[in-house]
Structure 1
């Protein structure tokens, strides 16, 4: 029964990741319900969501684009390097550091995205991050993504919209880049004894189905509604992360 629940929650998480991000905050507690500790659940969730991230990114790849003067190839390279560094940091530093930092990152991203979506004056519409700032933002998000990954989709949408993309293009671009930056961490976690394969396979199947469906829905939802969904997810993530923070 728990595996059936896990499958449907994973479908929801896959669609959520495709539309706005935050899917790992659905799979993590559900995996813990199956009997594993938080660390094992985090590792299993990361590996299990990776195929869905790849499938979602592939399904919407034609809508992805460069941002802030950076080509998609440059963003791809930055994400690979940042994700690898984040995975390496995971091996040598305690998780408490990022656990304290993440709520503030998501809060900042929520405020920035909300302002840019609903309160920015028309005269400010052309203001955007220059290429160096966009590259640094993507690099820092990628490092965090390789280390833990919760909320990276939302952070990327916020950064990419600041760099000049509209929310639909930003959502498609972050779907491609999310899979890229998690590849290094997954390569490491595949050999971890904390990886629970039965739960990982069930989660991967559900999340992949949900992710592909979400990618197809992404360009059929009115943009204002999609912006509102992203803001709501950001608020909920911020509240949840502050409650979990040590």
Structure 2
């Protein structure tokens, strides 16, 4: 129900922030461990906000999830990727059911997107396991910057 122009204006800022949080994850995590306890309610609330965002828009969700995990102190990129894929699957599934019940799903396009996302996720996991953690992190940051720029340019 939200006008696309309102939400679209917010996306580049969120993606840019998430990319920055992920890129600076080690520093943010060290600071967070000293100054903030991102456990319990705080961690759960942040996760809930990211899940609501993912269910509503899904654009850049994977980078936002990686940024969240980084801010919560996770460092194992392969574990983060697996958790990201699992959470993204659940978020997308809940969204599909919600939109389907509302009768606003264009099924041919939705099925094509689901197949492409599954293939891309599986292929990405295979490639990520063969690369070093620093290479995967660099790729994630590059994709985050590119996605931020695309959304910023598209909506100007």
TM range (shorter): 0.7 to 0.9
The alpha carbon displacement at 1:239 in A equals 0.5
The alpha carbon displacement at 1:122 in A equals 10
Any conservation in 1 of the 2:16–2:145 contact (CA below 8 Å)?
yes
Give the match for residue 106 of structure 2.
Answer: 195
Q: Which runs of 5+ in 1 are unaligned?
A: 1-91
Query: For residues 101 and 218 of structure 1, do their structure 2 counterparts lie closer, same or farther at Cα, with a shift above 3 Å needed?
Result: same
Any conservation in 2 of the 1:189–1:195 contact (CA below 8 Å)?
no
**CA deviation profile, 1:21-77 (whole Å, cap 9, x unmatched):** xxxxxxxxxxxxxxxxxxxxxxxxxxxxxxxxxxxxxxxxxxxxxxxxxxxxxxxxx
Give the match for residue 95 of structure 1.
Answer: 4
Query: For residues 179 and 232 of structure 1, do their structure 2 counterparts lie closer, same or farther at Cα, with a shift above 3 Å needed?
Result: same
- Give the Cα separation in 1 of the matches to 2:22 and 2:42: 16
The alpha carbon displacement at 1:195 in A equals 0.4
The alpha carbon displacement at 1:204 in A equals 3.5
What SS does the aligned partner of 1:218 have? helix
Give the match for residue 214 of structure 1.
Answer: 124
Q: Return the match for 2:16 from 83, 98, 107.
A: 107
Q: Return the match for 2:49 from 140, 165, 190.
A: 140
Normalising by structure 1, report the TM-score.
Answer: 0.54
**CA deviation profile, 1:79-133 (whole Å, cap 9, x unmatched):** xxxxxxxxxxxxx33233321211111111111222225xx39965955751233
Give the match for residue 71 of structure 2.
Answer: 162
Aligned length: 151
Query: For residues 215 and 107 of structure 1, do their structure 2 counterparts lie closer, same or farther at Cα, with a shift above 3 Å needed?
Result: same
